[in-house]
Amino acid sequence: MTQRGEVGQLTQRQVAERAGVSQATVSLVLNGKADASTRIPKETRARVEKILRETGYVANPAARRLAGLGNKIVGVFTYEPAFPSEGQDFYAPLLNGIESSAEELGCDLLLFTSAPVVDGTRRLLHENNRLRLADGCLLLGREMNRDELHRLVETGFPVVAVGRRDVPGVPYVGIDYAGGTSELVSAACELGHRSFVYLHVDSQGESVTDRRAGLLDELDRRGMARPRMHPMSAADPVHDWALVKASKATVLVVESHEHAVAVTAIARAEGVRIPEDLSVLVLSDAARQAGPLDFTRLSPPRREVAAAAARLLARRLDPDDEIDSGDLQSMLDCPAIPGTTLAAPRGGIVA
Amino acid sequence: MTQRGEVGQLTQRQVAERAGVSQATVSLVLNGKADASTRIPKETRARVEKILRETGYVANPAARRLAGLGNKIVGVFTYEPAFPSEGQDFYAPLLNGIESSAEELGCDLLLFTSAPVVDGTRRLLHENNRLRLADGCLLLGREMNRDELHRLVETGFPVVAVGRRDVPGVPYVGIDYAGGTSELVSAACELGHRSFVYLHVDSQGESVTDRRAGLLDELDRRGMARPRMHPMSAADPVHDWALVKASKATVLVVESHEHAVAVTAIARAEGVRIPEDLSVLVLSDAARQAGPLDFTRLSPPRREVAAAAARLLARRLDPDDEIDSGDLQSMLDCPAIPGTTLAAPRGGIVA
DNA sequence: TGATGTTGCTTATACGCATTAGCACGTGCT
DNA sequence: AGCACGTGCTAATGCGTATAAGCAACATCA
């Protein structure tokens, strides 16, 4: 059980012996210190550096960390496994963004894959978690355990969430889904639509509630009726299409692109023309392959939001950087793509 | 520049004070030690455990590591960035496999994204690398710097490569591309084919040379002529198709599925029937979306090879586990999928 | 009544590094 | 000569943990 770490590796002391100096001197040379109290003349410095190069010495990061330095390690916690192909469309662009930021910043990424799964999501604060090996941590996931998030923030450990979070005090970079959704809905209203139906994801995640809020608030502002709302059932698009048809709405709003493809395929098979008979708005972007329809849709900057979160975390880790409290929570614009599935209403759904 | 690590966090000493015992006692309780020389009676143990639970104490992993313990951290080094969408089809299944093994083993993953890029690939052994924070490291990539790999193995740091490696002493789990390719080629020969053309990846990576060897060796064994070989140019499938046509071969062997889709699309547009006019063998599997053709192809167990490598690394980290030297290097079978693009030759390519 | 265990801890040390305080040895000035 | 000051280092300490070594109190046995 007891795992042995480390085989014997070169230490500063050994380097120091070879160079005929003390360990402290090696450390000073390594870190380029040159205070009034710690002066190393060029020649000594050169001698030490020569040995360092010859031996290929690399500092033990655990010791550095213990001695109170940062490690340039960014923790990444995903509330679900990140790489299974189901979750991949969700996490891949985020990890892509984080990776490129990390590369720029010279950081390594520590993925907390050991977190045990309780009630369907991973738990970060388990015993012997390796959280503190990282300088800070990014949090990814559709839904997060609010309790745990709260406790984590309270410990003072530097954390940044990818995506807006409702828990007070949690720094984040989010995407303005509400604004983007409003815009799309607004465009439909301007074209004369008055009747909406909403196929939504069944989740309490903030991004989901933001999209719903964008839809409902925009309709409220215009004094229009609330839309029919149905949770999507990935397993049964036929059923979903039946509900849409029954609603007699002229605009179908679908939260997931994938589901939009499935439902519209059924609709078109029944002879429904899009957008002539039914307009379709999609609140996410195509993952990879576009279907036959170029949906009028949102194009959330998912890669960018993760990259921005990583940069924000880096700023939090830099003690010289005083962050405006307003910058701790920010939202990126969520642009809409015109596409071809929105048109003025004509006759409603032809059954 | 100097990053501060750690905000003040609960230590064993503080726990010890609260429980009215020494720090050592806390450590002993935590690690469930009960040697002849270190006995803790139930009551004391209970008292300490109570405080531990109340405070939610978590050990500082850096200190544990420094004290000579393993961390349950598996390093993951990719020779190219792992998440950009281009590389994604390559790395995603591997990371998937590693993640699920890590989850089973209770390990976290440390991704060395900070490695600087030199000559097109990342360099692992740069100064201040965080390698030694991990207990061991998995190496992923089509091609690896042999020098660096050699040096790394020499340091005694536990490493396992995903994919066969030619560098002596490197433990790995690979895929038997040579065997799989032989099998496919053999099947074509049995059907009467005598003339092959090979569109191959332009790389010195071991998996690439293994596939080539599988093809050439099988033809040699049968005393058949060497095939025409052309490096694929992703940018110009038209040119590649021209070369294939010119070769008058009856079997086209293509290394990458993607490229096979592109080239056969052009061929079919010209009226070439597959497999009636031309048989096609593909040496990799469809990434996600299958094209119109169900290729006769290899189906390399890429997820599984990575998971197996992670498990092998875990065994190497377990001091109680004596690994057979034969188990340090192993190959997984690479099954073939029949598909529908291999048939007996009739008239060669109709130009 | 010592001698010898046994129990239940604590003390001390090491791990590798960063950092502060300070020492020995000049040199310049009065 | 005596003192201040600068130079070039080193010694010592602490970070939080694991663990070997040891110590005091008590029990057991001859």
A72–chain B Cβ distance below 8 A for any pair: yes
A108 touching chain B per CB within 8 A: yes
Cα Rg, chain A, nearest whole Å: 27
Q: What pLDDT score does B120 carry?
A: 77
The pLDDT of residue B5 is above 70: no
Q: b/e string for B309-318 if b means 16 or more Cβ within 10 A?
A: bbbbbbbbbb
Residues with Cβ < 8 Å from B80, sequence gap 6 or more? B87, B121, B122, B141
Instruction: Answer whether B133's CB lies under 8 Å from B179's CB.
Output: no
Residues 282-311 of A with CB under 8 A from B: 288-289
Q: Give, rounded to a whole angstrom, the gap between the first and last alpha carbons of chain A.
A: 67
Mean pLDDT of A149-177: 92
In this predicted model, what pLDDT tens digit does every residue of B186-230 receive, in sequence order? 999 999 999 999 999 998 899 999 999 999 999 999 999 999 999
Is A53 near chain B, with CB under 8 Å?
no
For residues B112-125, give the mean pLDDT: 83
B123 touches chain A (CB under 8 A): no
pLDDT at A251: 96
Instruction: Report whether pLDDT(B250) > 90.
Output: yes
Alpha carbon dihedral A194, A200, A203, A206, in 10-degree steps, equals -50
Chain B residues in contact with A156 by the CB 8 A cut-off are 7
Write the CB contacts of A332 (distance below 8 Å, at least 6 apart in sequence). Answer: A173, A174, A175, A176, A301, A304, A305, A308
**Greatest mean pLDDT among A131-135, B32-36, B122-126, B160-164:** B160-164
Return the pLDDT at A8: 59
Residue B347: band (very low, low, confident or very high) from pLDDT cuts 50, 70, 90:
low
| The model's pTM | 0.87
**What is the SS3 assignment for A341?**
coil
Identify the three-state secondary structure at position A227: coil
What mean pLDDT value characterizes chain A? 89
State the virtual CA torsion across B197, B201, B203, B204 in degrees, nearest 10: -50
Quote the CA–CA distance of B8 and A155 in Å, as a whole number: 9
Confidence class for position A350, pLDDT limits 50, 70, 90: very low
pLDDT at B26 over 50: yes
Average pLDDT over residues B147-165: 90
pLDDT-derived band at A201, boundaries 50, 70, 90 = very high
A207 touches A165 (CB < 8 A): no
Q: What is the pLDDT of residues B276-290, one digit of tens each?
A: 999 999 999 987 766
- Residue spans of beta strands (DSSP E) within chain B: 73-78, 108-111, 117-118, 121-122, 136-140, 159-162, 172-175, 196-200, 228-231, 251-254, 279-282, 296-298, 329-332, 336-337
Q: Within a 10 A sphere around the Cβ of A182, how many other Cβ atoms?
A: 22
**Mean local confidence (pLDDT), A177-204:** 95
**Are A72 and B130 in contact (CB < 8 Å)?**
yes
Please determine, for residue A183, whether its predicted confidence score (pLDDT) is greater than 50.
yes
CA distance A144 to A65: 29
State the average pLDDT over residues B316-331: 88
DSSP 8-class letter at A132? G
Average pLDDT across chain B, whole number: 89
Q: How many CB atoms lie within 10 A of CB B270?
A: 11
Q: Within chain A, what is the greatest distance between any pair of CA atoms?
A: 91
Tokens of B199: 């569109």
Neighbour tally for B290: CB within 10 Å: 12
pLDDT of residue B2: 41
Nearest chain A Cα distance for residue B251, angstroms: 30
Per-residue pLDDT, averaged over B326-334, amounts to: 95
Task: Give the nearest partner residue to A68 out of B6, B130, B133, using CB atoms.
Answer: B6
* Residues whose CB falls within 8 Å of the CB of residue B87, separated by 6 or more in sequence, listed in order: B80, B81
Asked whether residue B41's C-beta has any atom of DNA/RNA strand C within 7 A, the reply is: yes
pLDDT of residue B229: 94
A279 neighbors A345 (Cβ within 8 angstroms):
yes
Dist. CA B42–CA B324, nearest whole Å: 41
Q: Is the pLDDT of residue A6 over 50?
A: no
**Per-residue pLDDT, A1:** 38
pLDDT tens figures, B45-96: 999 999 998 888 889 989 999 998 888 899 999 988 888 777 678 898 999 9
Residue A3 (CA) to nucleotide D20 (C1'), in angstroms, measures: 19
B319 confidence band (pLDDT: 50, 70, 90): confident
pLDDT digits (tens, 9 = 90+) for A256-296: 998 999 999 999 999 999 899 999 999 999 877 667 899 99
| Alpha-carbon span B145 to B280, nearest angstrom | 33
Cα separation of A207 and A214, whole Å? 11
> Least CA distance to A68: which residue of chain B?
B5
Residue B162 tokens read as 């995903």
Give the pLDDT score at B350: 43
The CA-atom distances, in angstroms, between B21 and each of A256, A269, B48 are 57, 75, 8
The separation, in Å, between residue A41 CA and nucleotide D17 C1' comes to 37
Cβ pairs bridging A and B (under 8 Å): 196
Report residue B351's pLDDT band, with 50, 70 and 90 as the boundaries: very low
Beta bridge partners of A75: A110, A137
In whole angstroms, what is the distance from residue B201 CA to residue B298 CA? 15
Q: Which of A79, A83, A123, A153 to mutate to test the interface with B (most CBs of B within 10 A)?
A: A83
